[in-house]
Structure 1
Amino acid sequence: MNFLADSTFSPHRERGQLLRLHCQRLTRDTIMPERILIIDDEPNITRSFSSLLSDEGYFTICANSAEEGLKSLRKQRFDLVLLDLNLPKMSGIEFLQSLSESSLSPEVLVISGQSDIVTALEAIKTGAVDYLEKPVPPEKLVTSVRSALLLSTANRQRMLMVGEIDSTSQIIGQSLPLQRLLDAVDQVAPTDSTVLITGENGTGKELVATRLYLQSKRRDKPFIKVNCPGIPATLFESELFGHTKGAFTGAVKDHPGKFVLADGGTLFLDEIGDLPIECQAKLLRIIDTGEIERLGESIERKVDVRIICATNRDLRKLISDRKFREDLFYRISVITIDVPPLRQRRDDIPALVGEFLRRFDPGESCRLSPDAMAFLTTLDYPGNVRQLKNMIERITIFNRDKTVHRNDLLSDIPSSGGTISHDKKNLSLAELLSNYEKNLLAAMLKETDGNISEAARRLGIDRANYSKKAKEYGLKES
């Protein structure tokens, strides 16, 4: 029964090709398309599935038995297996059990004509990520495959050992905004220029500062971090420049100060926008002269320190409000690096989810369903990566030995956080992925100043298809 005729599924091809290319950029092994193994004893079914998924841009291999499928898995890597349960000789359930007992670990999406709920539950319990009943509408199949591959990306990241993760910064992701950020960091790091890192709360500004330090010529010298809001104005000089014993009441011993501790290395001034105005002139002087004077003595000491600052505030507005010195701003912003919010790099979310699952649930007792993984990619995250990290930590605590579905996540979304609208909570998986696609198209148009040819080139899709989808979503091109 060839229910996947070209006339039925052709309207979905452009969307599938775009999201497939988008998903490829989520991991380091993105040169080849995702590989899908289709196991079914009905040749017309395997041909139909293969035709549809090949048109979506995936690489497919067909097998007509579980034994043949296992042979294919031993020969090459697959990202996903589409599995029929009612197979001759070795059944689909036995195939799943053999996978769980071996190192072969692609995600498995069960597609079967057996409507028995007991069989479906057994398949999920044995390791399948989802269960679809034949006949499967083409759009439903494509949507389920996409979400299963998003989950596969997260699980690959989850399986990484600590030593395999980028040891220079722990910055996870492969999105274009993140790659531009890291390229800028790698260019600036070897210099001694002062750097101002800007970005919203939770975007990872401290990680960027750490990478700047580790990639610099000063990486073998101290890296001293200072939380500016945590220092009272009355103690600012003492904390940064140091003091001698008896310099003031309570000074019971000499204190070198942060600049001396960082001598030869790097000083990171976090949230410098919250530094009291009366302290800013003192900081400016040391940046200009490279000399400090401890409280309680009149001897000036030369220090060699590279300064990196970070803020989540608009310093130019603070300057206009007379809350931040303009001359200090220009001294600390020789180089400015802006860290993009998570909503502008959604394609990094699966890898981040996998990393946080690895950290908080090393025993892998908590699992995410494909619809939960796809749902996580649609949220706005006003708290950025920190919010996602906290969410995954809560999920792993309250869902031990459980598979988490989208509905389970709704209660974890703060009602006042502006993370997701009420309407979006009720969207189907296909609608959520459609929103994901629209956001991706819009973001790429913004990055290329409305140049649709350049936007299509960066995503690796045909310009005509991009233009068609942009018009469908009401996006403007130049």
Structure 2
Amino acid sequence: MRDDSMTHVAIIDDEREVCTFLEHFLTSKGFTVKVAYSGEQSDLLMDGPPFQLAMIDVKLPDTNGFAILKKLKEKQPNCKVIIMTGFSTVKTAIEAIKLGANDYIEKPFDDLDQLEALIDEMITHDASIVQSEANRLAGEVGFITGQNEEMNHLLTIAYKIAKKNINVLIQGETGTGKEVLAKFIHQASCRADQTFIGVNCGALSESLLESELFGHEKGAFTGATQLRKGLFELANSGTLFLDEIAEASPAIQVKLLRVLETREFMRVGSEKVFRTNARIVAASHVNLDEAVREKKFRQDLLYRLNVVKLEILPLRKRIDDISTLLSHFLEKYDAQHITFTTEAMRLLETYDWPGNIRELVNVVTRAITLSEGETTQITKDYLPCYIQNTNKKEYEEKEVKRSFSESIINHEKSRTNPYFSDLKKYLDNWNAELLFYWQSDQAVPLEVITEKIKELEDVTGKAFIKKALNSTLGNRKEAADLLKITPRQLRYLFKEKKHSPL
């Protein structure tokens, strides 16, 4: 039970009506309230008795909320902070959260219950408990931050904004865990009991993506034999994850912009207007600011998506977390009895991980499977040859496998990758490995088999792309024609697969 008479709250805002309302509201709850109408007056408050909570406006006549926040955190680091903002400055409030504010609320305060709940949460909840809950939820969905300070800060920000009904943009290299972070945001939000649906915007043609997003009526086009609801409709009260949003065509971008602006859409072949309340979390391995400058992405759409931008570090910039990630994966596969030798760990920690977390998962799965029944200690011999035969310095010097598009056009680069040098040999090895799993008396996790199937699709697809490019002397348009795909789909394959370890 807290003693409200000992709870001191500071209100810093130049709008006297707001201050008067909050002072009356908080005093009625038994709090001791002090008010400042400027930055100069706020300095005097900070030099007095400590506050448990401060409510700070973003804009003041002689300073701004950021400057006050910085001073307050220096003088009273344990004081909780709520940033007050108008709707047009929500992005500014998010920046304040990144700088240490605990939350924000929009003015005017239309929902007094929401205001009271937020204030009570700030007063009663210990920061360590909130962080512990964020870590627990992250562990459940598989978003492992390890000891990296920047990743843990990212998790804190994601947890804070999860309950806000705002769009989120996640940027990061392929394989860093953008979809896992999107699932964390969904699970930490008030929509956790609703649907989470994801779609890769680069994996579908324009017409298929339009139908997937917005749905279609029966007979809308050839093959539309029945009505189909789109993802905006299916995720109406939940979260819609738009992966690789940069790959959406200009026409799809226009339609997405309209939905984000009006919350309205029409199915393909229909004139009826539907509404959606889906929360949008978008992701891209492409820098969308650069894509806007290059006229490849709409600036107005980016503005709508980028209310909050979260950037995930590549694995090579958080190498110290390798051991934590390994422990998580071993526990996930019920293989805690397995350990990695010092030499194997050294190789893992000096490799550059172009495929990031996704590649690490594949390597661990492979090692567990190959060592089954033989040993409980993973040596370097259970690691892929390209990890055994390289180290970080060599990787940086040679840029091996840095760009898939270059590697399949450049014969010398493709020759350094054993998976491309002899497709028949790869297929023979793949077949032998699958037969080994089938004939083994030991239980084989189904995930291992599905990963091998995905690997087969990836490697053979690349081999046929290479063959098409070789036959057209590198002409991508002609190669796309030979493969019966669009140049846009071929471009997506280049970008999506360029960091593949295969």
TM-score when scaled to structure 1? 0.51
Give the equivalent residue in structure 1 for 2:401.
none
**In structure 1, the residue corresponding to 2:198 is in which secondary structure?**
strand
Unaligned 5+ runs, structure 2: 1-135, 398-502
Give the equivalent residue in structure 2 for 1:261.
234
Counterpart among 339, 344, 347 of residue 372 in structure 1: 344
Q: Which amino acid aligns with 1:405?
A: T
Give the equivalent residue in structure 2 for 1:210.
183
Q: Is 2:197 aligned against 1:224? A: yes
**In structure 2, the residue corresponding to 1:307 is in which secondary structure?**
strand
Q: Work out whether residues 350 and 391 of structure 2, in 8 Å CA contact, stay in contact via their aligned partners in 1.
A: no
Q: Mapping of 1:25-424 within 5 angstroms? A: 166-172=138-144, 173-360=146-333, 362=335, 364=337, 366-400=338-372, 401-402=374-375, 403-406=377-380, 409=383, 411-413=385-387, 421=394
Q: Distance in 2 between matches of 1:240 and 1:166?
A: 28
Q: Work out whether residues 175 and 347 of structure 1, in 8 Å CA contact, stay in contact via their aligned partners in 2.
A: yes
Structure number having the greater helix percentage: 2
Residues 410/233 of structure 1: CA separation in 2 closer, same or farther (3 Å cut): closer
Q: Deviations over 1:74-106 (max 9, x none)?
A: xxxxxxxxxxxxxxxxxxxxxxxxxxxxxxxxx
Greater RCO (CA < 8 Å, at least 6 residues apart): 1
Q: Deviations over 1:441-469 (max 9, x none)?
A: xxxxxxxxxxxxxxxxxxxxxxxxxxxxx
Give the equivalent residue in structure 1 for 2:56.
none
**In structure 1, the residue corresponding to 2:286 is in which secondary structure?**
coil
Q: Deviations over 1:166-200 (max 9, x none)?
A: 55421222321221110110111010111000001
Q: Work out whether residues 356 and 389 of structure 1, in 8 Å CA contact, stay in contact via their aligned partners in 2.
A: yes
The offset of 1:323, in angstroms, is 1.3
The offset of 1:356, in angstroms, is 2.1
The offset of 1:376, in angstroms, is 2.0
Q: Distance in 1 between matches of 2:267 and 2:381?
A: 59
Residues 208/303 of structure 1: CA separation in 2 closer, same or farther (3 Å cut): same
Q: Work out whether residues 266 and 306 of structure 1, in 8 Å CA contact, stay in contact via their aligned partners in 2.
A: yes
Q: Distance in 1 between matches of 2:396 and 2:370?
A: 26
Q: Distance in 2 between matches of 1:406 and 1:384?
A: 19
Q: Deviations over 1:49-83 (max 9, x none)?
A: xxxxxxxxxxxxxxxxxxxxxxxxxxxxxxxxxxx
**In structure 1, the residue corresponding to 2:350 is in which secondary structure?**
coil
Q: Work out whether residues 352 and 395 of structure 2, in 8 Å CA contact, stay in contact via their aligned partners in 1.
A: no
Q: Which amino acid aligns with 1:386?
A: R
Q: Work out whether residues 168 and 214 of structure 1, in 8 Å CA contact, stay in contact via their aligned partners in 2.
A: no
Q: Which amino acid aligns with 2:371?
A: N
TM-score when scaled to structure 2? 0.48
Q: Work out whether residues 166 and 279 of structure 2, in 8 Å CA contact, stay in contact via their aligned partners in 1.
A: yes
Residues 409/165 of structure 1: CA separation in 2 closer, same or farther (3 Å cut): farther
Q: Work out whether residues 382 and 418 of structure 1, in 8 Å CA contact, stay in contact via their aligned partners in 2.
A: no
Q: What is the root-mean-square deviation of aligned Cα atoms in Å?
A: 2.6
Aligned length: 260
Residues 409/245 of structure 1: CA separation in 2 closer, same or farther (3 Å cut): closer
Residues 350/243 of structure 1: CA separation in 2 closer, same or farther (3 Å cut): same
The offset of 1:369, in angstroms, is 1.5
Q: Distance in 1 between matches of 2:349 and 2:343?
A: 10
The offset of 1:377, in angstroms, is 2.3
The offset of 1:165, in angstroms, is 8.3
The offset of 1:385, in angstroms, is 1.0
Runs of 4+ in 1 over 6 A off after TM superposition: none
Unaligned 5+ runs, structure 1: 1-163, 425-478
Q: Deviations over 1:251-270 (max 9, x none)?
A: 11111111000111111001
Q: Deviations over 1:318-370 (max 9, x none)?
A: 22222111111111011000001112222211011122233446384x53223
Q: Distance in 2 between matches of 1:262 and 1:408?
A: 43
Q: Distance in 2 between matches of 1:342 and 1:240?
A: 32
The offset of 1:237, in angstroms, is 2.5
